[in-house]
Amino acid sequence: MALDEIKIGGMGASRRRVEDNRFIRGKGNYVDDIVLPGMLHMEILRSNVAHARIKSIDTSAAWEIPGVRLVLTGEMMAARNLAWMPTLSYDTQAVLATDKVRFQGQEVAAVIADDPYIAKDACSKIVVEYEQLPAVVNPFEAQDPSAPLIRDDKENQPTNKIFDWEIGDKERTDQAFAEADVVSKIDLHYPRSHPSPLEPCGSIADYDRATGKLTVFMTSQAPHIVRAAVAMVAELPEHQIRIVSPDLGGGFGNKVPIYPGYVISILASILTERPVKWIEDKTGNLISTGFGRDVYLRGELALRKDGRILGMRMHTVSDHGAFFADAQPTKFKIGLMHSTFACYEVPAAHLTSEGYYTTKAPGGVAYRCSFRVTEAMFFQERMMHAAANDLGMDQAEFRRLNLVKDDMFPYRTAFGFLTDSGQYGKCLDIGLEAIGYSTFKQEQEEARKRGKLLGIGISTMTEPLGAGNSREYDIIGIKMFDSAELRVHMTGKAILRTGAKTQGQGHETTWAQIVAHELGIPAEDIVVEEGDTDTAPFGMGTYASRSTPVAGAAVAMVARKIRAKARKIAAHLLEVSEEDIEWELGRFYVRGNQERGVTIQDCALAAYSNVPDGLEPGLENNAYYDPPNLTWPFAAYICKVEVDAETGVWDVLKFVAVDDCGVRINPMIVEGQIMGGLTEAYAMANMQYITFDEEGNCIGSNYMDYLLPTAWETPGFELHEVVTPCPHHPIGAKGVGECATVGGPAAFVNAVMNAIEHTGVRNVDMPMMPNRVYEALQTGEDVSGMPPMKVE
Amino acid sequence: MYPSRFSYESPKTVQEAISLLDRSGGEAKILAGGQSLIPMLKLRFASPEMLVDINGIPGLDYLRVDPDGTLRIGALCRHEDLEFSTTLANTHPTLAAAADLVADPIVRTRGTFVGSVCHADPQGDWAATMVALGGKIVAQGPQGRREIDVRDFVLGPFANALAYNEIAVEAVIPGAKGTARGGYLKLERRVGDFATASVAVALDMAGATVSHAGCALAGVGGRTIDANEAISVLQGKPLTAENIEAAAEAVAAVAEPRTDHRGSADYKRHIVKTFVTRLLTNIAKSEQKAA
């Protein structure tokens, strides 16, 4: 009898997360939980000014504090050729500043001491003399000919511009605009935000001079990339480097890059011959590590009177901070921004991008999104909203008219992506029905008569996940495939390792479900391990919603290799030829005689005790999976709000999410991902940003200024589901981790705009704080969020 | 986040705590709820040599009303004790309205009313309600006890009138003469956020007439703003729309807001006016219902 897949915790089972057994008991094992014998503690001294020449650093008083073992400065790093390190975008970043500091919070010196209190005390004794230089806090200031040159350390860098980049067909797009009946424009700022995982970054470097082995426990979403980078930069032999990423307290893209703290702790361990632990504090995490967004998005749509889109132009101006340290595929300077409008029929499109240095923290990481996809989709849905209004068309009708239809797949987008499946119109309709769209306009008018401002906002989008196929996607030259290794023990239990790295996604639960689905081994009999480069197969890690599309596919593929070998063993045990063997979940049987069969567990035992002649013993294998294409989940998010006209405060009355992420492995985890993503979307739309005053002081450097929403103010979300399996993924999954963060913000913003745009206002930049909404209502004019922030 | 070195004492009596403070010569801090002090220690904004933890002193956690209607709040009475009080809404509605807007539910389980007033944060909710209600702080030191009017107690941002060897052991808040009416409104982007603006209003009503009006503001100045004089335009008058408008104008005029990332000075002043209007209008409506 075939097994009941749900009962064994296979595909579709809302199995409880096995990792939670330790997390809810406080038994997780995070970097800061690890204590090594003789371990020292490191604290970093950060710059308190944004832009300044370092005249001198006096560390003598710090050395005098009992318990201080080492004080490191940029000069000492430079003596070992480690003052600068390469970034993931082919730039360089200061490890410890030597010539200048270029952002507030930059690493200037480090103290290594017997305990973290002493290290902190000693840091406060270091005297740094700065000669202050003007700060540059947005990319428009950076372009000013009178702006100071931020990267005077680089050759061939005469200005603050990092890159110009473009994609698409300019000529055809110009033609489309020439033929347009209506041209609609929008001008937006997607403010700087921060992934702010609960656990900040940290590392324990342990260099053993006797064996020559360097072990680094660290907070990394991509430990194998770190090993490769350390091997190349520090010129240590790769087999002598072990990177271990233990339990992670969230990542959201923040833990992809390599940070100065990691590098300093490694050198400190080499110099002191002791393990050295560095744990960043929350402020350090917010002001110095990978931020997200900070892009100015401008564009226009060429439209026909009947509502069809003829062409799209987009221009982005991005602020990368002091070092170009974006984590993104090499080919694409502004990530996958050109995935914008992928769900709509757009005959011609052209995107131009400029990137600039400013005196702000470096980063530009994909904060819970697949490389700038969040900005791309926010632009798209704000642009669609403005265009529908300019045409005088209904928001839903305008979208439905232009969405790619179900029978048009595979569909080549104007920028060359290939979307492969979806039921866009169906998702939109389910959402409209759930929010009560058909009666909303009447409701809105009646409410307005009573002095109440109601609004509805729609955001529909498909986004590219699962980078990626190795033809187009690499990071620092390493192709973006992924891997899995499966060992089935003789009692039918198994261990699975992958090149991904869970950080809250629940891989330990869902990977076992894929194996259960492929082999019929109950999920509870499978342990999943990730993050140790000495044991896990090579992989590119977890970000950009790539785990399920890439590593998850590798899990299915390796399980299928195991099943193929088990089939040979089954044929041997059943004394029939392999061709006469049939498979049902958990069991092989003889064709025509379903009673006569062996279980996968029988085969596992035989693999170690009764192997047919000519077959290798054992039941283990690995798989490297190079996806043929990206995956394209779709979502329709619809939000209904009420705005308080007297204060500008807005409340969400209802939020409906319709997600089509293909086949769902664990529906409960999928729903958790969507709710978490919508919460982050709500935060960005409502309250959350990092900004700067004109001196380059970071406003948003702590959790009193950089707000994370709590359960108190987060609205409820109503979730709906549509399933269109991915045609090229082994189990039909598309990935879901980031859909809601990507598509969510525009739904909130469009809803608030819908409530207030009768005053003539076209845009209020995020976060739509009460004071901004109130200002827009009073003036009928757009409200920009561009720094510098005015502070009296 | 590692604080500077400090010693820790856990006295069992107020007298013992006072003598520890006395001997420290001004280098000690009282630890009650710790919801502001502990973060300040971690950020090294405060680096006292000694912490005197009063949580082990019995008998300081009371919240009680004297026969004459005076409310007495002990030094270890937590925010949530006020939040969950079943009688406070009748005797002191301003405090009851503020109680569930103080910080967030987690902070409220631990933080103390008296500690919050002592902290003298310009954004502090309790200090504003105290000013509106004419409250006093009882300080106890080596020379005995003294009562300090809250307006003399809060000297400026994070500065109070306690001598280094005194402990604030109690807050005393008079009862209403007549019917107590009042409310508290706060604009914040998230629970626990510093207020963009808050308004405390406390009225004593004699029938439809305001016999006494109190008001104070938080978040719109470098200290708690005393708006008692401004709102006194209501004294002896009924809560008509016209009178409410005049009071709201007068209160908004004494706010001293600054432009920052929570909004412009003008916006914050507008919020003050809006909140005063809403609070008074709500009271007027409930009076009408009652009548």
Sign of CA dihedral B228, B230, B233, B238: negative
Low-confidence ranges of chain B (pLDDT < 70): none
Average pLDDT, chain A: 96
Does residue A532 sit in helix, strand or coil? strand
In a domain, A155, yes or no: no
**pLDDT given for residue B289 in this prediction:** 84
Active site residue A661: no
Residue B124: in which H helix or E strand, if any? none
Look at the domain B179-290 and name its fold.
Enolase-like; domain 1 (3.30.390)
CA of A637 vs chain B CAs: smallest distance (Å)? 23
**Tokens 């639960």 sit on residue:** A509
Q: Comparing C-alpha atoms, which of B219, B202, B224 is closest to residue B280?
A: B202
DSSP 8-state symbol, A410: S
Active site residue A368: yes
DSSP 8-state symbol, A552: I
Q: A474 is written with which tokens?
A: 């690499």
**pLDDT given for residue A363 in this prediction:** 85
**pLDDT given for residue A473 in this prediction:** 85
In chain B, DSSP finds a helix count (H) and a strand count (E) of 12, 14
Q: How many residues does chain A have?
A: 792
How many whole angstroms separate alpha carbon A57 and alpha carbon A565? 65
Task: Say yes or no: A669 and A529 in one domain.
Answer: no
How many whole angstroms separate alpha carbon B220 and alpha carbon B226? 11
Q: Long-range contact list for B105-109, CB < 8 A, 24+ apart?
A: B105/A712, B105/B80, B105/B191, B107/B33, B107/B35, B107/B79, B107/B192, B108/B78, B108/B79, B108/B80, B108/B83, B109/B78, B109/B79, B109/B80
Active site residue A369: yes
How many A×B Cβ pairs under 8 Å? 71
Residue A605: is its pLDDT beyond 80? yes
pLDDT tens-place string over residues A512-545: 999 999 999 999 999 999 999 999 999 999 988 8
Residue A223: is its pLDDT beyond 80? yes
Task: Say yes or no: A362 and A435 in one domain.
Answer: yes
Q: A35 is written with which tokens?
A: 């204590």
Say if the Cβ atoms of A712 and B190 lie within 8 Å. Answer: yes
Instruction: Label residues B187-213 b or e (16+ Cβ within 10 Å = b).
Output: bbbbbbbbbbbbbbbbbbbeeeebbbb
pLDDT tens-place string over residues A371-410: 999 999 999 999 999 999 999 999 999 999 999 999 999 9
Domains of chain B: which residue ranges? 7-56, 63-173, 179-290
In a domain, A682, yes or no: yes
Domain range for A615 is 20-27+482-625
Residue A516 to residues A12, A560, A733, A735: CA-CA distances in angstroms?
11, 11, 16, 19
How many whole angstroms separate alpha carbon B51 and alpha carbon B41? 10
Task: Say yes or no: A329 and A271 in one domain.
Answer: no
Sign of CA dihedral A748, A752, A757, A760: negative
Q: Comparing C-alpha atoms, which of A170, A485, A463 is closest to residue A340?
A: A463
List chain A residues with CB under 8 Å of B271. Answer: 647
CA of A692 vs chain B CAs: smallest distance (Å)? 10
Task: Say yes or no: A384 and A525 in one domain.
Answer: no
**pLDDT given for residue A476 in this prediction:** 77
List chain B residues with CB under 8 Å of A789. Answer: 260-261
**Interface mutation target, options B193, B258, B267, chain A, most CBs of A under 10 Å:** B267
pLDDT tens-place string over residues B182-220: 999 999 999 988 899 999 999 999 999 999 999 999 999
Rg of chain A taking only CA atoms, in angstroms: 27
Candidate from A120, A687, A771 with C-beta closest to B190? A687
Task: Say yes or no: A278 and A408 in one domain.
Answer: no
- HEC string of B215-235 equals EEEECCCCCCEECHHHHHHHC
Lowest mean pLDDT among A253-267, A323-337, A465-479: A465-479
How many whole angstroms separate alpha carbon A693 and alpha carbon A307? 42
Q: Is residue A362 within 8 Å of residue A356, measured between CB atoms?
A: no
Task: Say yes or no: A578 and A514 in one domain.
Answer: yes
In a domain, A370, yes or no: yes
The CATH class of B7-56 is alpha beta
Burial class (CB in 10 A: 0-12, 13-18, 19+), B229: exposed
**pLDDT given for residue A328 in this prediction:** 83
In a domain, A144, yes or no: no
Residue A483: is its pLDDT beyond 80? yes
Mean pLDDT of A71-99: 95
- The total domain count for chain A is 3
List chain B residues with CB under 8 Å of A699. Answer: 261
Say if the Cβ atoms of B189 and A686 lie within 8 Å. Answer: yes
CA of A627 vs chain B CAs: smallest distance (Å)? 42
Mean pLDDT of A578-591: 97
How many whole angstroms separate alpha carbon B3 and alpha carbon B46? 9
Task: Say yes or no: A444 and A588 in one domain.
Answer: no
Complex ipTM value: 0.96
> Any idea what the CATH number is for the domain that residue A211 is in?
3.90.1170.50
Mean pLDDT of A671-679: 98
Longest dimension (CA), chain A: 86
CA of B277 vs chain A CAs: smallest distance (Å)? 11
Residue A472: is its pLDDT beyond 90? no
In a domain, A10, yes or no: no
In a domain, A711, yes or no: yes
The CATH class of B63-173 is alpha beta
Say if the Cβ atoms of B104 and A647 lie within 8 Å. Answer: no
> Any idea what the CATH number is for the domain that residue A712 is in?
3.30.365.10
DSSP characters over A263-314: HHHHHHHHHHTS-EEEE--HHHHHHHS--EEEEEEEEEEEE-TTS-EEEEEE
Q: Which of A575, A601, A625 is the last residue of a domain?
A: A625
Longest dimension (CA), chain B: 61
How many angstroms from the chain centroid is the CA of residue A591?
A: 47
Say if the Cβ atoms of B262 and A771 lie within 8 Å. Answer: yes
DSSP 8-state symbol, A473: -
Mean pLDDT of A682-696: 96
Q: Is residue B265 less than 8 Å (CB to CB) from chain A?
A: yes
In a domain, A172, yes or no: no
Mean pLDDT of A422-433: 98
Name the residue in chain A with its Cα closest to that of B264. A771
Task: Say yes or no: A386 and A501 in one domain.
Answer: no
Of A201, A369, A661, A739, catalytic: A369
Task: Say yes or no: A411 and A372 in one domain.
Answer: yes
Beta-strand runs (E) in A376-511: 411-412, 418-419, 453-462, 474-475, 478-479, 482-488, 494-498
Mean pLDDT of A202-222: 97
Residue A250: is its pLDDT beyond 80? yes
Does residue A508 sit in helix, strand or coil? helix
Active site residue A382: no
**Interface mutation target, options B43, B102, B108, B189, chain A, most CBs of A under 10 Å:** B189
**pLDDT given for residue A322 in this prediction:** 98
Q: Comparing C-alpha atoms, which of A389, A432, A388, A376 is closest to residue A639?
A: A432
In chain A, DSSP finds a helix count (H) and a strand count (E) of 19, 34
CA of A687 vs chain B CAs: smallest distance (Å)? 6
**φ, ψ dihedrals at A605, nearest 5°:** -60, -45
CA triple A769-A139-A128, angle to 5 deg: 95
Task: Say yes or no: A493 and A638 in one domain.
Answer: no
CA of A91 vs chain B CAs: smallest distance (Å)? 32
Q: Is residue B189 less than 8 Å (CB to CB) from chain A?
A: yes
Residue A303: is its pLDDT beyond 90? yes
List chain A residues with CB under 8 Å of B5. Answer: 117, 121
Q: Is residue A612 within 8 Å of residue A621, measured between CB atoms?
A: no
**pLDDT given for residue B287 in this prediction:** 85
Of A221, A395, A444, A503, catalytic: A221
CA triple B255-B260-B264, angle to 5 deg: 55
List chain B residues with CB under 8 Å of A285. Answer: none
How many alpha carbons lie under 13 Å from residue A164 in its C-beta half-sphere? 2
Residue A416: in which H helix or E strand, if any? none
**pLDDT given for residue A595 in this prediction:** 96
List chain B residues with CB under 8 Å of A45. Answer: none
Q: A736 is written with which tokens?
A: 């879901």
Q: Is residue A93 within 8 Å of residue A101, measured between CB atoms?
A: no
Task: Say yes or no: A668 and A638 in one domain.
Answer: yes
pLDDT tens-place string over residues A458-470: 999 999 998 778 8
Task: Say yes or no: A115 and A222 in one domain.
Answer: yes
In a domain, A142, yes or no: no
Q: Is residue B32 within 8 Å of residue B54, measured between CB atoms?
A: yes
